[in-house]
Amino acid sequence: MSLPRSLASLALLSLAAAQALAQTSTPVSLPAYGADPLQTSVSGLSSGAFMAVQMQVAYSGSIVGAGVVAGGPYYCAANNMFFTGICMGQTLLSPSAYLMVDAAKTFDSAHLIDPLSKLSQRRIYVFSGTDDSVVRQPAVNATVSFFQQVGVKPAQLQYVNTMPAGHAVITPSYGNDCAANAAPYISHCSIGGSGYDQAQAILQHIYGPLQPRTDKPAGQIVSFNQRAYADSTTSMADTGYLYVPPSCSAAGANCKVHVAIHGCKQSVESVGNQFITDTGYNNWADNNKLMVLYPQVNKSLFLPSNPEGCWDWWGYTGSNYANKSGSQMKAIKAMVDHLTQKPKASM
């Protein structure tokens, strides 16, 4: 039986798109921009939030602040997948921040992470929606407690936990309704009749007052080869992305770098470019001399098993996943370090 004409046309279009993707050349190497090595920050949602916590703790000597949206405390799963339910607040047993602090102190003593004393100088934003059914508030409360116990000062630790939001990055107007817990895990919420701009809240808490937001970012999204930093056994994708505003494209711009880390089921493979273009970071980048790095991890049904495209916060890439030598951690840090290198002079 032949397909109806409309379905046949759709099938041909899908085939053509698949062939075009198959013929796409390998992405270029990540360019060097001479970014400011003292002004790197990180944020993420869900598994990306767990990764943001890991990055902030492990590299506290060079990462100046973190935004944690629906993420549990550092090393919560302790290299054991069976603890993930506890770390997401899905069981009657809540995570123990005290135990996580003890683990971090052990890593500090072994020089596997930067000295925990550096964290007292850092600025941390934490968010938990009251309607989040994926990573519930008891787990996020433990994240706040962890940072308090390792010395982050009260004025530098902001916890937003009264908004009726689901499991999502929050924007003023884009995405699902506020209480949704569904793909693309981007939702719009309001406070006092005004849309809540989470990208602004994170960046402003870390860097201080911002220059105005742009409605239409005028910069360039650069795709680059992630295989230069991580092989396929890490579950990281072949391609990563970088938003470069016009203010950062010139030599000597000395821009800041913010690493925005997607959650499970939220990579380009899963939701297209929505996390990159619609979460609001790029809108704040143009006028604030800020480049935004969007590393990518993909789904994998083989070793390492990562069927939902999550960042490693329980040990699927190895027992050192939360340390500076962890394969995903090391890859993202190497990308940032490359961005801070001086660009080569043109011939």
Q: For residue 311, which of 126, 96, 71 has the smallest C-alpha distance?
A: 71
Q: What's the average model confidence in pLDDT over 91-116? A: 97
Q: Is 132 a catalytic residue?
A: yes
Q: Which of 75-89, 170-184, 293-307 has the lowest mean pLDDT?
A: 293-307
Active-site choice (41, 47, 167, 258): 167
Residue 345's pLDDT is 66
> pLDDT tens-digit profile of 314-334?
999 999 999 999 999 999 999
Q: What's the average model confidence in pLDDT over 127-140? A: 98
CA distance 287 to 219: 11
Residue 261 forms part of a structural domain: yes
Q: What's the average model confidence in pLDDT over 105-113? A: 98
In the chain, the percentage of residues whose pLDDT exceeds 90 is 87
**pLDDT of 347 over the 50 cut:** no
Q: Are strands 194-195 and 190-191 parallel, antiparallel or unpaired?
A: antiparallel
Is residue 93 helix, strand or coil?
A: coil
Residue 310 forms part of a structural domain: yes
Residue 181 forms part of a structural domain: yes
CA distance 63 to 347: 34
Active-site choice (47, 60, 114, 132): 132
**pLDDT of 11 over the 50 cut:** no
**pLDDT of 153 over the 60 cut:** yes
Residue 346's pLDDT is 53
pTM across the whole model = 0.92
Residue 10's pLDDT is 32
Q: Is 46 a catalytic residue?
A: yes
Q: What's the average model confidence in pLDDT over 52-57? A: 98
Residue 22's pLDDT is 32
Active-site choice (41, 43, 46, 47): 46
**pLDDT of 5 over the 80 cut:** no
Q: What's the average model confidence in pLDDT over 164-190? A: 98
Banded model confidence at residue 305, pLDDT cuts 50, 70, 90:
confident
Domain that holds residue 204: 29-339
Rg (CA), the chain: 20
The total number of structural domains that make up the chain: 1
**pLDDT of 19 over the 60 cut:** no
Residue 15's pLDDT is 31
Residue 21 forms part of a structural domain: no
Do the beta carbons of residue 215 and residue 283 sit within 8 Å? yes
Mean pLDDT value across the chain: 92
> pLDDT tens-digit profile of 253-287?
899 999 999 999 999 999 999 999 999 999 999 99
Residue 135's pLDDT is 98
> pLDDT tens-digit profile of 82-96?
999 999 999 999 999
Residue 240 forms part of a structural domain: yes
Q: What's the average model confidence in pLDDT over 230-246? A: 97
Residue 287 forms part of a structural domain: yes
Q: Indicate the helix (H) or strand (E) that contains 53.
A: helix 47-58
Query: If you search the block for the tokens 């959650």, which residue do you land on?
Result: 263
Residue 91 forms part of a structural domain: yes
Residue 345 forms part of a structural domain: no
